[in-house]
């Protein structure tokens, strides 16, 4: 019945599937919302890929710490995302993402559309949820925390979307390029 709208399949892993979807969205939506850039523009820049990879890494670590059977998302198994702090894994993910930048459609995620239209975002229910669950499980989420803070500032009207917000978030989180 749903095939006319989108793909559908039966699963006995609802929470794992939901976490994979959350992880995918938590990687892209807030970066677009806080920068004003589209997906291809973010994938086309090293710093854009870096923040995306760090958000995927944190989301995967939290999902795994929760004991969920998280399926692959954004082209990699959650265990691979969770290992993105290792230079060789980071390079593999970065190269994959770089190959998708520039040539693809430069779409805008729902959160970016909310910012454009002046609507409050769902940051607390997306990356904020990852941060909360990370705190419960003792999994650090410094990049996610910084991104939540920046998007909240945009929601409050005290900060404007800008590509410079990537550097602000990475600086606040203590992340260094490719490390």
Rounded-to-integer distance, Cα 179 and Cα 157, Å: 32
- Location of structure tokens 């082209």: 75
Rounded-to-integer distance, Cα 137 and Cα 85, Å: 19
CB-CB contact of 98 with 32 (8 Å): no
Among residues 95, 96, 152, the alpha carbon closest in space to that of 127 is found at 152
Q: Give the count of beta carbons closer than 10 Å to the beta carbon of residue 80.
A: 17
pTM equals 0.91
Annotated domain spans of the chain: 12-173
User: Rg (Cα) of the chain, in Å, rounded?
Assistant: 16
What's the topology of domain 12-173?
Answer: 1.10.1040
Rounded-to-integer distance, Cα 148 and Cα 172, Å: 11
Per-residue pLDDT of the chain (179 residues; tens, 9 = 90+): 667 777 777 888 889 999 999 999 999 999 999 999 999 999 999 999 999 999 999 999 999 999 999 999 999 999 999 999 999 999 999 999 997 655 567 878 899 999 999 999 999 999 999 999 999 999 999 999 999 999 999 999 999 999 999 999 999 999 765 44
């Amino acid at each position: 019945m749903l095939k006319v709208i989108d793909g559908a399949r039966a699963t006995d892993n609802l929470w794992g599937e939901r976490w994979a979807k959350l992880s995918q969205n938590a990687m892209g939506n807030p970066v677009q919302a806080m920068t004003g850039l589209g997906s291809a523009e973010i994938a086309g820049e090293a710093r854009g890929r870096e923040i995306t990879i760090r958000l995927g890494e944190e989301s995967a670590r939290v999902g795994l710490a929760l004991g969920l059977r998280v399926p692959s998302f954004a082209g990699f198994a959650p265990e691979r995302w969770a290992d993105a702090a290792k230079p060789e894994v980071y390079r593999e993910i970065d190269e994959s993402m770089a190959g998708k930048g520039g040539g693809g459609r430069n779409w805008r995620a729902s959160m970016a559309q909310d910012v454009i239209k002046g609507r409050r975002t769902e940051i607390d229910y997306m990356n904020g949820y990852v941060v909360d669950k990370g705190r419960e499980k003792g999994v650090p989420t410094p990049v996610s925390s910084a991104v939540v803070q920046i998007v909240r500032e945009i929601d409050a009207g005290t900060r404007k979307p800008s590509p410079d917000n990537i550097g602000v978030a990475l600086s606040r989180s203590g992340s260094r390029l490719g490390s």
